Chains A and B, each alone.
Chain A
Amino acid sequence: KAGVTQTPRYLIKTRGQQVTLSCSPISGHRSVSWYQQTPGQGLQFLFEYFSETQRNKGNFPGRFSGRQFSNSRSEMNVSTLELGDSALYLCASSLVVSGGTEAFFGQGTRLTVV
């Protein structure tokens, strides 16, 4: 079974630009979550989608948005990029197991804003 695939792996953008990151979950997983990881703030939750609906959103400005398609693939978009948006962006697809939810992560997209 293929794992979670994130594209691109690396990205360099200029301040003020926008960027779109893509995530393909494990086949059959309908929940996709996005996280931002920085050295200063650690891993922070961005948002979660289930069956094309955003169920939960973290404490990020409106410049961060996302969507999920009918095939469960998800994209996240960051507009008007700032230097502080430089981070590793991780996508996870989830499966409910006995006693909890297990998340499977992609390798991440390393975004550098210059």
Chain B
Amino acid sequence: SQQGEEDPQALSIQEGENATMNCSYKTSINNLQWYRQNSGRGLVHLILIRSNEREKHSGRLRVTLDTSKKSSSLLITASRAADTASYFCATLNQAGTALIFGKGTTLSVSS
């Protein structure tokens, strides 16, 4: 079953704009991760945020985590056409041995 649920399901923006994706999850977590997938290929790890962190940056990526609301957001600033992909949030199952993914947000950036 899905642990994280991303919102929106699809997002279309112009190059240079910012893109914000949200993720909600159900159970308590130690950390939350974001992955990117380009058109039916493998997933690429973007960023991991721990449960005691509220915000984390990596290049043009900014991730926030609100454990009281069980939600996280991924902000991509100054988007580029190359950012076109699906983005997934993921948390670990209770055993800590498997990632549970949301259904993802499909981002389309047009030039």
Contact = CB atoms under 8 A, between A and B. Distances in A.
A binds B: yes
Interface of A: 4, 6, 31, 33, 35, 42-43, 45, 48, 50, 55-56, 58, 88, 90, 92, 97, 99-108, 110
Interface pairs A-B: 9 shortest CB-CB: A100-B31, A105-B42, A43-B101, A99-B50, A56-B97, A105-B43, A45-B98, A42-B103, A107-B42
Given A43-B88, A99-B31, A108 B42 contact: yes
A106 B41 CA distance: 8
Nearest to A48: B97
A48 B98 CA distance: 7
Nearest to B1: A59
A105 B31 contact: no
Given A42-B2, A103-B45, A105-B43, 15 more contacts: A42-B104, A45-B93, A45-B100, A55-B95, A56-B97, A58-B98, A99-B48, A99-B50, A100-B31, A103-B33, A104-B45, A105-B42, A106-B42, A107-B41, A107-B42
A4 B42 contact: yes
A45 B2 CA distance: 10
Contacts of A102: 33, 45, 48
Given A88-B40, A99-B48, A106-B42, A56 B99 contact: no
Interface string B65-109: 000000000000000000000001000110111111111100000
Given A100-B50, A102-B45, A45 B30 contact: no
6 contacts: A35-B101, A43-B88, A58-B98, A99-B50, A100-B30, A110-B40
A90 B99 CA distance: 12
B80 to A, nearest CB: 22
Contacts of A4: 42
Contacts of B98: 33, 45, 48, 56, 58
Given A90-B42, A110-B40, A31 B31 contact: no
